[in-house]
Structure 1
Amino acid sequence: MKKWSFLLLACAATLLFMAGCGEQTASSSAEEAVVYENSQLGIRFELPAVFRDHLKVEENTEEMGGEPVNVLYILYEDEDESAIIYRIEEMSSELWAKMQAEEGPKGMELGQRDGRAVVYYPPQSNPFEQGTDAYEAMQILPDQASALPDSFAFIE
């Protein structure tokens, strides 16, 4: 009888431990993403956890093709240095169609709504000096390249 009691107790403890680990993993992965929301542009997306406490967003309006384009610069910033990691543009659907027909680098369309297109340009290389903390942090980006486009959404 003692053997069965011990075995049942061991199984119960193992199940409780495994259930606890599963809950921690689910909550920690949800906490890792850095959510960016811009109500003026009506967009939302997630960035890799490496941006937590290092995110800076600069907003600008630039003229392209004779019309204004809203531009978001997503920067990784630490105490020593900062660099633009992503560029996101919000423009008319007509301008986006013209840009796609032209030669040269093209962004990735995230979505279109109400005659407007949102396009993003992923990082081409690690902008930081090798051996720095920022360089090491940015080394994870290729593995998490789909975080922004997969999470992009228009908000009301």
Structure 2
Amino acid sequence: MSKNKTASRRVPVLQEQLCFALYSASLAMTKVYRPLLQELGITYPQYLVLMLLWEQDERTVSELGEPLLLDSATLTPLLKRMEAAGLVTRSRSRSDERQVVIGLTDEGAAMKEHAKRIMAAVIDATGCSNAELAQMKNDLIALRDRLVAQAQ
């Protein structure tokens, strides 16, 4: 067998990398979400913010940023676009004017029902069982937490 044939059969180094597997899986997941979220006129990061607000309305920017792993400089422009779209309100906290409180509008709250269909469609797209998805999610959270701890 020639050297060229052996080299052509070798898996590229990129394909061997965990970081690329995570990155490409994230891209694929976002591609599944994109058309579903376009129906609502929102982006994936906006969807994440809405999910947090559906769970508990009226959160400060820092209360939203912490679970999203985003700082206020990244989150603020996103929230301003969501306010302009009529999905959220932004107001100063009565107890601390330095804090900005984000709340759902009626339109933002109404999207919650449609989101249930989005979640079901994404779960179907994975082709995984509920048990597989739960295990994968738990493994990824554990990995993320270890990486975050090392990065600090």
Q: TM-score, normalising length from structure 1? A: 0.32
Q: Which has a greater percent of strand?
A: 1
Larger Rg: 1
